[in-house]
Amino acid sequence: MKNYFKHDEWLIIEEGFNPSYNRVSESVFSIGNGKIGQRANFEEQYSGDSLQGSYVAGVYYPDKTRVGWWKNGYPEYFAKVPNATNWIGLNININGIPLNLATCKLNSFRRVLNMKEGLLMREFEAILENGDIIKVTSTRFCHLHKSSIGAIEYNITPLSSSSKIEIESYLDGDIENEDSNYDHKFWEEVSQTVELNRSCLAVKTLKTNFIVATASETFLSLNGKEVKSNFSQNTKSKYVSVTTNCQLAQGETLSINKYTATISSLDYQAEKISETAALLCKEASSTGFATLKKEQAAAWLTHWNESDIIIVGDIAAQQAIRFNIFQLNQTYTGEDARLNIGPKGFTGEKYGGSTYWDTEAYCLPFYQATAGTQVAKNLLIYRYNHLAKAIQNAEKLGFTDGAALYPMVTMNGEECHNEWEITFEEIHRNGAIAYAIFDYIKYTDDQQYLAQYGLEVLIGIARFWAQRFTWSNHREMYVLLGVTGPNEFENNVNNNWYTSKMGCWCLRYCKESIDYLKDNNPEAWDRIENKTKFEAKELQKWMQIDTNMYYPFDQELNIFLQQDGFLDKEQLTVSDLLPSERPIVEHWSWDRILRSVFIKQADVLQGIYFFEDEFDKESIKRHFEYYEPRTVHESSLSPCVHSILASKIGNYDKAYSFYLRTSRLDLDNYNNDTRDGLHITSMAGTWMSIVKGFAGMRVLNNQLEFTPFLPEKWQEFSFKIRFRKTLLKVSVSHLNCSIEQLEGEKIEIKINSENSQTKGVTSHA
Ligand code: BGC
């Protein structure tokens, strides 16, 4: 729904409660801190439609896959970051009547996400079934630096009469996942303790045995003064609570403060995990809500100082980019190379919370430019640590000699997708992982990475491609059979141009990297050569493949074709579709989709985006103008790539409209699927649409350059990036593009192809 949330530079505001839109709002108002995260479920009970969601990073359950006819090579399980202990719960009874927004009338309702300070807030006035009117305001957050801590302040004011308020503050680990393949529950209880106002619950995932402990302390105060209350305690299986009550005169305000600490056995010793959680919780409650909240605002200020994009003159665009940056920063903080970025982050169950090619193809540039080298490096090391498993994955499919096929979907390096028809043959992900190494080294200049980690991964990947391409006697060329490109509306096709292009590029890049190491770090090369049992003849084969690769091309159109036979399809364009047929994935049979010309997301254009330097502007334009009208953008990953390419070819109106589409995808629920969770990974694409698209940032010949333009509606935009050892502020206005160097040694930067050294400020009209 467009414009459902009010436009504001720093806030997302929902005015009025719309139960049928509640799941969308729960996604949009999600909060997290890289370790824990949750949907914006209500603290008090709610019997209306809701998707409850609290998640703990890195903790997963291997749900058995659902497949009709089993074939060799199918994954055994689909990993899910399971919905974990609900720590926000407060059951409130007012004069014996449960507070439940599904059963009372609302005089007012406002939900706010304060992105500047990292707070989720609500305020409403409700008329209960007996006519009592009460006002509630609440604030909660997941502490950005004390990553186990969740804190809630919940204020209740009876407006119409004196009231007896009963409060049950609980931890509920008896949780279900809506997308469980066989309706199984994923948790069993380990321990529970409850005493006075404190409780602690430890639960364990079945099969994987991750323990998650959550401790909680609850306090009351009346009109700002702490009340010493008596609590009674309650327990049942996987559930603990403390209950108390308080008599309020009309107009008095009762505040409930709930502090929680949630930790997992990924980070803490399992034997002492409940004690540790209780201790962390105690520390938080002693610090107090007001101080924790100040710390939260300060932590977010630091993030914003580094990663904000300021847009002058367009509030909808400003709000949207901040929303995207906010969600990215609360999903991944980059301290732990075991963690990664699920397509939905901590905002829903879809995609299982697992890692996809999205990380390398979309997310890396954002983190490497805004959070710095180590954060980006951890994303790459994640895959390095999975190399042995990638080799095993390839072996399971019949590949040999150290060939590595990274999974399309993974938690621990094993392939674990749930949708074999599509995902099985999307081997292009192997290319994105190699490309990310290339991009990281190019951007950060961390040449050491190749010797330390990168080259082993590249060799495994190159070996895979060398075995996956097939020599065709008929064509007397190499071909690529039975693949699915990024466009998932085609399955198991021959010679998908993007995948072949990517595969050959990997062979070349790996060879270049070997040559580089031989020349610059022969010791490292010796070590890697031995470790990988590398043989020189492998290089010859790679180059032979590369020079003899078949790419589908149409002379008349003068473009590369997405795959063999693409022109046999009925050549419709998206303008031929009725609005009622869209999204086609919801309205058409799979058979019809596969036969149609319609493209889910950038495919050939994804390749042109990655390998832009190999194409002149005219050629980029030709490809864009052929493929874009046939693209339905039913993947969130699509509009951003189109926006960047549209900027490149000077189609600024399209660049801007794709920017709005990508940046407001969830705020305006463009694809009608925000209820399932936010499109976190494509949010990094939104950032790229501005930085690589509108500002035209590239690293070419070892030099940073910008080719900026300003969208018509904007007066100015500016952002900061870390590039190698520098911190730069880039501002683009109608008059000029200026680059201010805030840290590091002066470097040469090109603006609109002209060289200039940053001397504090560099300006180009
Ligand atoms: C896209 C894939 C993507 C996945 C997770 C799918 O809809 O087609 O490219 O990896 O979503 O974001």
pLDDT tens for residues 467-493?
999 999 999 999 999 999 999 999 999
Q: Which two tokens stand for residue 464?
A: 């895979």
- Cα 89 to Cα 672: distance, rounded to the nearest angstrom: 29
Task: Tell me, using a 6 A CB cutoff, whether residue 365 lines ligand 1.
Answer: no
pLDDT tens for residues 126-168?
999 999 999 999 999 999 999 999 999 999 999 999 999 999 9
Predicted confidence band at 754 (pLDDT cuts at 50, 70, 90)? confident
Task: Tell me, using a 6 A CB cutoff, whether residue 490 lines ligand 1.
Answer: no
Strand partners, 355: 410
Q: Which two tokens stand for residue 588?
A: 């058409």
Give the residue among 577, 512, 563, 519 at the shortest CA–CA distance from 539. Answer: 512
Task: Tell me, using a 6 A CB cutoff, whether residue 637 lines ligand 1.
Answer: yes
- Cα 233 to Cα 624: distance, rounded to the nearest angstrom: 64
Burial of 555 from C-beta contacts in 10 A (0-12 / 13-18 / 19+): exposed
Confidence at residue 410, expressed as pLDDT on a 0 to 100 scale? 96
Confidence at residue 8, expressed as pLDDT on a 0 to 100 scale? 98
Asked whether residue 764 carries a pLDDT value surpassing 70, the answer given is no
Q: Give catalytic residues, as residue numbers.
A: 488
Q: Whose CA is nearest to atom 5 of ligand 1?
A: 343
Give the DSSP letter string of 280-307: HHHHHHHH-HHHHHHHHHHHHHHHHHHH
DSSP 65: P
> How many Cα atoms within 13 Å fall on the side-chain side of residue 387?
20
Q: How far is the CA of 42 from the centre of ligand 1 (A)?
A: 30
- Cα 53 to Cα 83: distance, rounded to the nearest angstrom: 5
Q: Which two tokens stand for residue 382?
A: 């994640």
- Cα 647 to Cα 217: distance, rounded to the nearest angstrom: 53
Give the DSSP letter string of 95-114: TTEE--TTTSEEEEEEEEEE
| 358 Cα nearest atom in ligand 1 | 10
| 634 Cα nearest atom in ligand 1 | 7
Test site for ligand 1: of 488, 593, 631, 641, most ligand atoms within 8 A of the Cβ: 488
Task: Tell me, using a 6 A CB cutoff, whether residue 635 lines ligand 1.
Answer: yes
| 408 Cα nearest atom in ligand 1 | 10
Test site for ligand 1: of 430, 635, 666, 682, most ligand atoms within 8 A of the Cβ: 635
Average pLDDT over residues 737-744: 95
Task: Tell me, using a 6 A CB cutoff, whether residue 343 lines ligand 1.
Answer: yes
Mean pLDDT of the chain: 96
Helices 455-468 and 497-520: crossing angle, nearest 10°? Answer: 140
Predicted confidence band at 106 (pLDDT cuts at 50, 70, 90)? very high
- Cα 253 to Cα 258: distance, rounded to the nearest angstrom: 16
Average pLDDT over residues 85-91: 98
- Cα 429 to Cα 435: distance, rounded to the nearest angstrom: 10
Q: How far is the CA of 677 from the centre of ligand 1 (A)?
A: 14
Amino acid identity for residue 381 in this structure: I
Q: How far is the CA of 681 from the centre of ligand 1 (A)?
A: 9
Strand partners, 610: none
Q: What is the 3-state secondary structure (H, E, C) of 567-604?
A: HHCCCCCHHHCCHHHCCHHHHCCHHHHHHCCCECCCCH
Q: How far is the CA of 358 from the centre of ligand 1 (A)?
A: 7
Backbone angles phi, psi at 432, to 5 degrees: -65, -35
Task: Tell me, using a 6 A CB cutoff, whether residue 601 lines ligand 1.
Answer: yes
pLDDT tens for residues 207-233?
999 999 999 999 999 988 999 999 999
pLDDT tens for residues 423-468?
889 999 999 999 999 999 999 999 999 999 999 999 999 999 999 9
Task: Tell me, using a 6 A CB cutoff, whether residue 488 lines ligand 1.
Answer: yes
Contact 36, 150 (CB under 8 A): yes
Confidence at residue 757, expressed as pLDDT on a 0 to 100 scale? 54
pLDDT tens for residues 241-290?
999 999 999 999 999 999 999 999 999 999 999 999 999 999 999 999 99
Predicted confidence band at 765 (pLDDT cuts at 50, 70, 90)? very low
Give the DSSP letter string of 394-433: HHHTT--TT-----SSBSSSS---S-HHHHTT-TTHHHHH
Q: Whose CA is nearest to atom 9 of ligand 1?
A: 486
Give the residue among 209, 219, 186, 236 at the shortest CA–CA distance from 54. Answer: 186
